[in-house]
Amino acid sequence: MDEPVRRPRPLKIVGIVVAVLAALVLAVVVGLNIYVRAAFAPFYAEAEPVFDIPGVNAGFVCQDLDHLAADGSWLFSGYMADGSPSPLYKRAADGTVARLTVANPDGAAYTGHGSAITSTDRYAYLACDGGYLVLDGEELAAAGDGQEVDAIARVDLDFSPAFMNIEGDTLLTGNFYYPGDYETPASHRITTPDGTENPAVIYAYDLDPNAPFGVAPGPACVYSIPGMIQGVCLTDSGRIVLSQSYGIATSHLLAYDQARLTQDGTFLADGAEVPLYCLDSRSLAADVEAPPMAEGIESFEGRVYVSDESASNKYIFGKLYGAGVVYALDMNG
């Protein structure tokens, strides 16, 4: 008498399939980590993970970060992938995280891109379409989780800021260029003395305690810059650092030596001719390649802090190699 054929039990088959899939996922994650760490070895050799970017698992797409001197906290601006009101996240010195919302001066919820956030002792400035919103620094520092912060004013600029940063007594704000998708005015596209085609600009405004909301009405000078710039900061050694990225391409942290800058004519900004300085190979001191989607940067205690959007739920792939954290590195040279 023949023995009955033994068929695999369904649960055993499911278990085998799950185990195989888990092994494949693990292999992909390990392989991606090895690749990213090798491809960007100079970055990881210098950069230290500092703290998590808040909201990356809750639909928040981080665009910028800022150290709020009033209480030692960190602010994160960005937008929600589902189009809901754009929050500000505040990370206290003890690591506690508060999620805030912002109201425009007309009372409507802020739903902007959140491309930039920066602050002085008195005010914070949040980028919006065509300019920036002014927030009260003390109110922002005191706001708790779930609270709404009211913008006290809106300031219009010549362009919509892609990034902003206050360095010393200067507000730096610039626009973003990518051909076809993000164009800039023809006057912003400049051929520099070394032949580089720079398609965007940074306006540098003096801080003025007697001016409305602490910023002079017109820029003191203009910098001509490369395309795809997401952030700007100054190092302790006087370098201008730009964060450059778009899509899944390699990011770059470009450091320019201010001591090597010379005036390259003038630029008509806000109706006035002001000195123009071109950032190109003549002053480029360092180019650090970094993982994709580096966003806003901030100079703090001698290091450049770098935010990233690739680990958000919108893009996901950055979660696979630990991109959901702020990295800090020394770019003083």
Which helix (DSSP H) or strand (DSSP E) does residue 303 occupy?
strand 303-308
β 148-150/97-103 pair status: parallel
Q: Of 51, 124, 121, 57, whose CA–CA distance to 327 is shortest?
A: 51
- Rounded to whole angstroms, the Cα distance separating 35 from 93 reads 34
Tokens for 130? 């065509």
Q: Which helix (H) or strand (E) holds 99?
A: strand 97-103
pLDDT band at 79 (very low <50, low <70, confident <90, very high): very high
Average pLDDT over all residues of the chain:
93
Residue 30 has pLDDT above 70, yes or no: no
Average pLDDT over residues 298-307: 98
| Average pLDDT score over residue span 186-198 | 98
Q: Quick check: 24 pLDDT over 90?
A: no
Query: What is the mean predicted confidence (pLDDT) over 205-210?
Result: 96
- Parallel, antiparallel, or unpaired for β 97-103 and 87-91? antiparallel
DSSP class of 330: -
The pTM of the full predicted model, rounded to 2 decimals, is 0.91
Q: What string of DSSP letters covers 185-219?
A: -GGG-EE-TTS-EE-EEEEEEEB-TTSGGGB-SS-
With bands split at pLDDT 50, 70 and 90, how would you rate the model's confidence at 8?
low
pLDDT tens readout for residues 118-150: 999 999 999 999 999 999 999 999 999 999 999
Give CA separation, 177 vs 195, 199, 245, in Å.
Answer: 18, 6, 11
Terminal CA-to-CA distance of the chain, rounded, Å?
84
Residue 290 predicted with pLDDT over 60: yes
